[in-house]
Amino acid sequence: MRVELGYLHNPKAPAADAAVAAVLRAVERSRADGLPLAGLHIAFDWCQYRHTFREPVVDRRSVGPGEAPAVRELAVDLRQAEADRLEHLAERALRRLAALPAPAPDRLYLEEFVPLRRSVIWRFNALYWREIERWETTLNRPFEAALPGGKSDASNPAQVEEAVEQFFEGLRALDKRGALPPELFVLEIGAGTGERAGLWLDRFRDLADSQGKDYYGRVRFLLSDYSMPMLERAHGNVLRHADKVSFLGLNATDPLRSLGFLRYKILCVHISNVYDNLPTDEVAKRDGRLYLVEARAYVGREAAVEVGQRYGVEPEALLRQVDLLLRIGPEASPDPAQGVGFWRDLWQLVRLEERYVPTDVRDPALIPGLDPEVLAEVLEGWPGDLRCHLSNGAVQSFVRTLPLLHPKGTLQVQDLFVTDLTEYGRGFRGPGKLDGSIVNWVNGALLRTAADRLGYRLHWAPFLYRPGSAIRIL
């Protein structure tokens, strides 16, 4: 049996010896009852996100040939777990692991098991950005209110100023060699409110003016997002630079598809707080074998029925209403404000069951578009057990952005990165819920190896502009 005390590394996590002991008592009782415990792995986390897809105690098992699963696992979120209930919850989970896998009658399933990146939770995430106006106006708070400090770090003035100065330096160097292109293309992906773009352009214009350069006149700022309401909002925030900005509906996972005509031409690409919001899978390495995490989203049946009652949805119509919500949006309800209420309350209930499916590290389907040797290089040398993100969406975005860069161009990514795989053992890295969206830390070790293989240089810098920030700049 293996016990992982990931919470110890989180300074915010209180002492949890009593909770850990309660789970171990449940293990002892299960042993006395003759339950199979071979291969048991217990992970204690302290999930820093107020809302996650986890129950206080989760059981996971591997699937595959043979009757007994090779992996049995309990994951405990010490933040949610009340010590006096924990023993009972752990015992129940251990009994479930000893029995044949079966759907739980007290859960209403929203899907069948699928790799995490294909889970229905991502449709909720996309709905959030598509319907952000209605969500915010109905609930009367901006999406930024859910961020640490209530504000996006992307528009930190000191950081924007430094980024502009670095970009300017690069332009001057090209200019001196007579190699500055006539048009200076700049791209922001997932630009959100456009506040950063506005600040960036202000600063760029002022710097160009003060240095007597005509760079501002030559700049072509491509402001992109896949959310039409966000683009609309951004439009309002950069009106003062209207003749410099073009607005693009662009999917961050494939910038090259929309912008192929600018291959090798873009001098600066910026993307912040988007990679952590792109669909991702997770893999687990247990006793030298690699497993893909499959998930099945569900809501507690009783609580979901209560939500339905609150918004006039009959119990037998719940799944149909969720489907309508995801396809059409809150207008699928006779009163769209009620539709938002149904959506928010149901979203809070969504949890994930998980199972481990054996996989091959060189399976090209794991991260489509990436040389499978990259994943092999990152994971094969890893000595022990590990669970980490594949960051499929982020990797795809990265690989499909690089060819747009001018030979002297830069891609700057500001996000929650795990730069070293050991960090996965030192804290919870998602998925968490941020308001109606999803957040997962990004596997930077994988990005670095991908960049190396493609011949790009990649650097990390801490985000020093807000004390205590976990953000890093790539």
Ligand X SMILES: C[S@@+](CC[C@H](N)C(=O)[O-])C[C@H]1O[C@@H](n2cnc3c(N)ncnc32)[C@H](O)[C@@H]1O
Give the span between the Cα atoms of 330 and 341, in whole angstroms.
9
Residue 155 or 443 having the CB closest to ligand X: 155
Find the residue with minimal CB distance to ligand X: 192
- Which CA distances in Å does 29 have to 87, 98, 145? 10, 13, 45
Residue 119 CB, shortest distance to ligand X, in Å, is: 15
For residue 228, which of 257, 191, 187, 270 has the smallest C-alpha distance? Answer: 191
Residue 86 or 367 having the CB closest to ligand X: 367
Residue 129 CB, shortest distance to ligand X, in Å, is: 4
282, 117 Cβ separation under 8 angstroms: no
For residue 458, which of 448, 446, 445 has the smallest C-alpha distance? Answer: 448
Residue 262 CB, shortest distance to ligand X, in Å, is: 17
330, 134 Cβ separation under 8 angstroms: yes
Residue type, 165: E
Give the span between the Cα atoms of 7 and 23, in whole angstroms.
15
Residue 97 CB, shortest distance to ligand X, in Å, is: 36
Residue 253 or 359 having the CB closest to ligand X: 253
Tokens representing residue 20 in the block: 């850990």
Residue 113 or 463 having the CB closest to ligand X: 463
Residue 230 or 405 having the CB closest to ligand X: 230
Helix (H) / strand (E) containing 158: helix 157-176
Residue type, 112: E
Residue 130 CB, shortest distance to ligand X, in Å, is: 8
Tokens representing residue 74 in the block: 């309990």
Side by side, the strands of the sheet bearing 437-439 are 51-52, 432-434, 437-439
Size of the chain, expressed as the number of residues it contains: 474
How many Cβ atoms are within 10 Å of 157's Cβ, its own excluded? Answer: 12
Residue 76 or 442 having the CB closest to ligand X: 442
Residue 62 or 273 having the CB closest to ligand X: 273
Residue 278 CB, shortest distance to ligand X, in Å, is: 6
Token pair 């993100």: residue: 389
Judged by the rule CB under 6 A, the positions of this chain that interact with ligand X are 129, 152, 154, 190-192, 225-227, 230, 251-253, 272-274, 277-278
Nearby residues of 422 by Cβ (< 8 Å), 6 or more positions away: none
Residue 230 CB, shortest distance to ligand X, in Å, is: 4
Residue 457 CB, shortest distance to ligand X, in Å, is: 24
